[in-house]
Amino acid sequence: MAETHRTRLLILGAGPAGYTAAIYAARAGLEPILVAGLQPGGQLTITTDVENYPGFAAAVQGPWLMDQMRAQAEHVGTRIIQDVVTEVALGARPFRAKGDSGDLYEASALVIATGAQARWLGIPGEKELSGFGVSACATCDGFFFRGKEVAVIGGGNSAVEEALYLAGLASKVTLIHRRDSLRAERIMQERLFKHPKISVMWNTTVEAALANEDRFPALRALKLKDIVGGGHFELPVHGMFVAIGHDPATALFRGQIETDEDGYIVTEKGSARTSVPGVFAAGDVQDRIYRQAVTAAGSGCMAALDAEKWLAHIPDDAPSPAAYDAVDA
């Protein structure tokens, strides 16, 4: 039977931003509820070695780090619910959300920490072969390509990380990039170029993912275009891993809250406040520049502190967000 959950602070998203917001909010006595969403733990659950999160001399595993954050959030008093929010209403207080389970959530304040989702190429065969050789997560699916040839598409940190990870499993990795230089950090580029199993294909785009003709579909090759020469050719591979960035998971909130041209939630400079009083945003859902676990965690802290201060100035029976406009959170 569907339930209605009421809380002073509702947090949507269970990545570093959401968990950190929950930790700070719980320690402040706000008794927050966190709805975990489709990917509890966020993108770090599909990351193996995490070398740049402060506090660990050696690399730690992404899933382990997120398990620790979850345990800490629960230990200090956060109630975590495994549900996926499908509708939100931000036009009146309390803010309301509906879960896929049918449960309803009502809150005096809201932290949006829904993160970002993998961006796809949009080429023929990509959707049809998803799960049959096409993936956006090397750590999820790389195991299936042990001893096989694969390609990674992209030129940033994510693409280089995917390529290096896959090089430990595959017989050969080809990094395909549409430009003549990478955007990844220099130290990562050095590791990439030194790896004997990795080669880079510059000034090249992928035009289609080609399937075999067997009864059960599987990727057999990529149709490529040489941007400089203009020629087309095929690259036989068993796997294609797309690593060209992510899009913020803000579809639920569009039309109700200010976003930029790419859908990232706009927050006030130096704060987590959004265009809707009482609604705060943290993590990759509002960060289009840094997109790191540590910055997501930091913004989660900011969101909780901003929410705590805001709630201290708002009576519980305030009728709607319009009543809060004059409040300096």
CATH of the domain at 189: 3.50.50.60
Residue range 227-237: average pLDDT? 95
- Kindly give the pairing relationship between strand 4-12 and strand 33-35: parallel
Please indicate, yes or no, whether residues 125 and 207 belong to a single structural domain of this protein: yes
Q: Which of 243, 274, 308 is the last residue of a domain?
A: 243
Q: Which of 243, 276, 294 is the last residue of a domain?
A: 243
pLDDT at 46: 63
Structural domain contains residue 27: yes
Rounded Cα distance, 51 and 47, in Å = 11
Q: What is the dihedral of CA 268, 271, 277, 279, to 10 degrees?
A: 110
For the question of residue 301 being annotated catalytic, the response is no
For the question of residue 317 being annotated catalytic, the response is no
Q: Any idea what the Cα angle at residue 290 is, between residues 287 and 293, rounded to 5°?
A: 90
Which of 141, 284, 287, 306 is labelled catalytic? 141
Residue range 15-40: average pLDDT? 95
pLDDT at 48: 63
Residue (of 90, 72, 93, 81) closest to 40 by Cα position:
81
Q: pLDDT class for 56, splitting at 50, 70, 90?
A: very high
Structural domain contains residue 328: no
Interhelix angle for 186-194 vs 157-167, to 10°?
A: 30
Please indicate, yes or no, whether residues 101 and 184 belong to a single structural domain of this protein: no
Say whether 224 sits in a helix, a strand or coil.
strand
pLDDT at 82: 96
Instruction: Say what percent of the chain tops pLDDT 90.
Output: 76
Please indicate, yes or no, whether residues 134 and 218 belong to a single structural domain of this protein: yes
Q: Which of 243, 272, 288 is the last residue of a domain?
A: 243
Given a contact cutoff of 8 angstroms between Cβ atoms, the answer to whether 109 and 279 are in contact is yes
For the question of residue 137 being annotated catalytic, the response is yes
Rounded Cα distance, 201 and 222, in Å = 13
Amino acid in the structure at residue 327: V
The pLDDT tens digits for 117-169 are 888 999 999 999 988 999 888 876 888 899 999 999 999 988 999 999 999 99
pTM of this structure: 0.74
**Number of folded domains in the chain?**
2
Mean model confidence pLDDT for the chain: 91
Q: pLDDT class for 252, splitting at 50, 70, 90?
A: very high
Q: Which structure tokens are listed for 123?
A: 């080429």
Which of 67, 103, 137, 301 is labelled catalytic? 137
List of residues 6+ apart from 292 with CB closer than 8 A: 52
Structural domain contains residue 296: yes
Domain that holds residue 146: 121-243
Which helix (DSSP H) or strand (DSSP E) does residue 240 occupy? strand 239-242
Q: Which structure tokens are listed for 57?
A: 């001399």
Q: Which structure tokens are listed for 316?
A: 């519980």
316 or 72: whose pLDDT is higher? 72
Rounded Cα distance, 151 and 201, in Å = 10
The pLDDT tens digits for 93-120 are 999 999 999 999 999 999 999 998 888 9
